[in-house]
Structures are given as structure tokens and as C-alpha cells.
């Protein structure tokens, strides 16, 4: 830690010397010059000292002209690396050889696009299929013969006395339960894929499909 010491010359009321002792080897003095109207000047005394580890020394400087020699250089650019010969030409123009003469069938073209004003129309189905099925016991049966559809709603008559069950071929009384008056809608492609069964005779379902 530095120690500051101020000295005053009693024979020269304008003289002033401030001595800052940094350590035993370095000091910094602020003095008044009696020969020049006591103008202040700095008297610095620094003794040689050991540099800290890693400090730059003349032995660690680059030689004159800062020439650097790199050893173990790759003798040639490795195969496949970019070179000036492999760059794109001016303006980055690319030529495609053997392009397809025409877009393949079905690919989007400007003629197949819409501008937002065109609305795709979905035509409503014109045929409705409806019917009644007396639900069998013992073995499930299809609600009707083969008929292509999009969806069907099956309803248990409100006069039924026990539940009926709906499901695929082979459905049993553990299928989807419909109590009297209840219904279910299914999206299927054929009416013949919907089967019904009941644990008691004389139960009826009705269906409507499109």
C-alpha cells in the first residue's frame, strides 16, 4: 500500500514536496523547483523488479517484420472443398439440363388455382334410405341388405321393453346399448355393416341413412 508524506521547507515558504512511497523499490515524488518559482514537477523512481508469471518479455515478441511460419500446412486443398473453380458463375445463373417438358398430370398449375372468388360446391346427396328392423335374439343380423351410404342413424322404438344392442357383425348383448327411444349415428359406407341384437324378442329399431 502506498504511503504519502508531505514535506515543507521552512527556509522557503513556497517549497512543497509530496512523496508517495509505493513500496521499498518504487516511489513517486511531487516537488517544487526552488529555481523556477517553485514550479511543481514529478520525480519518479522505480527500481527493477521481477515481472509476474506470463508477462510479455522480449523473448516472447514476434521477430522483426512480424513474420510467422506455419508448419504442417496441408499441401493441397482436400478433394471436394470449395475452390474458385467450383463457384457459381457471374450473376449466379444456373442451367438445368433435361427439365420435364410439361408438369405431370394432376400437379398444381396456375390453371388449377383459385383466386378466392371461386367456391367449390359440394352437392347434397339426393337419396335417403329408411327402414325398420325387428331385432333378432341369439344371433345378430344386419339392419338391411347391402346399400352404399355415408352415414346412418339407428333408433330404438319408444315401445321397446328391453335394450337392443348395435355393433359390427357378431355383436352380442355386450354391444352398444340402446334403451327405448334412444338413438345413435354412425358414419359407415354400407348399411349391411351395421348389426343389431337383443336379449328379448319383439324389439324393433328404425334407421335413416344418406
pLDDT band at residue 71 under the 50/70/90 scheme: confident
pLDDT band at residue 69 under the 50/70/90 scheme: confident
Residue 101 is assigned to a structural domain of this protein: no
> Do the beta carbons of residue 173 and residue 199 sit within 8 Å?
yes
Residue 177's contacts (CB-CB under 8 Å, 6 or more residues apart) are 163, 164, 165
Mean pLDDT value of segment 12-29: 52
Residue 174's contacts (CB-CB under 8 Å, 6 or more residues apart) are 165
Task: Encode burial over 79-90: b for 16+ CB neighbours within 10 A, e otherwise.
Answer: eeeeeeeeeeee
Report pLDDT digits (tens) over 143-192: 999 999 999 999 999 999 999 999 999 999 999 999 999 999 999 999 99
Report the C-alpha gap between 143 and 168 in whole angstroms. 11
How many structural domains compose the chain?
2
Mean pLDDT value of segment 104-108: 60
> Mean pLDDT over all residues of the chain?
76
> Do the beta carbons of residue 150 and residue 190 sit within 8 Å?
no
Residue 67 is assigned to a structural domain of this protein: no
> Which range of residues forms the domain containing residue 198?
129-209
Residue 110 is assigned to a structural domain of this protein: no
pLDDT band at residue 53 under the 50/70/90 scheme: confident
Residue 164 is assigned to a structural domain of this protein: yes
The domain spanning residue 149 has which CATH number? 2.60.120.10
Amino acid at each position: 500500500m502506498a504511503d504519502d508524506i508531505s514535506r515543507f521547507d521552512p527556509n522557503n515558504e513556497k517549497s512543497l514536496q509530496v512523496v508517495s512511497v509505493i513500496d521499498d523499490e518504487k516511489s513517486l515524488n511531487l516537488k517544487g523547483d526552488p529555481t523556477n518559482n517553485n514550479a511543481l514537477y514529478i520525480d519518479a523512481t522505480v527500481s527493477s523488479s521481477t515481472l509476474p508469471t506470463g508477462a510479455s518479455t522480449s523473448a516472447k515478441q514476434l521477430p522483426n517484420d512480424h513474420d510467422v511460419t506455419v508448419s504442417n500446412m496441408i499441401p493441397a486443398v482436400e478433394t471436394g472443398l470449395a475452390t474458385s473453380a467450383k463457384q457459381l458463375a457471374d450473376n449466379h445463373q444456373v442451367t438445368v439440363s433435361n427439365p420435364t417438358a410439361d408438369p405431370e398430370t394432376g400437379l398444381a398449375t396456375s390453371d388449377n388455382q383459385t383466386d378466392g372468388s371461386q367456391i367449390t360446391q359440394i352437392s347434397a346427396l339426393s337419396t335417403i334410405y329408411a327402414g325398420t328392423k325387428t331385432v333378432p335374439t341369439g344371433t345378430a343380423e344386419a339392419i338391411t341388405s347391402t346399400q352404399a351410404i355415408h352415414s346412418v342413424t339407428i333408433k330404438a322404438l319408444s315401445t321397446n321393453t328391453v335394450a337392443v344392442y348395435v355393433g359390427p357383425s357378431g355383436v352380442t348383448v355386450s354391444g352398444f346399448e340402446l334403451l327405448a327411444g334412444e338413438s345413435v349415428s354412425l358414419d359407415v359406407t354400407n348399411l349391411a355393416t351395421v348389426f343389431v341384437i337383443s336379449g328379448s324378442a319383439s324389439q324393433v329399431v328404425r334407421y335413416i341413412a344418406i
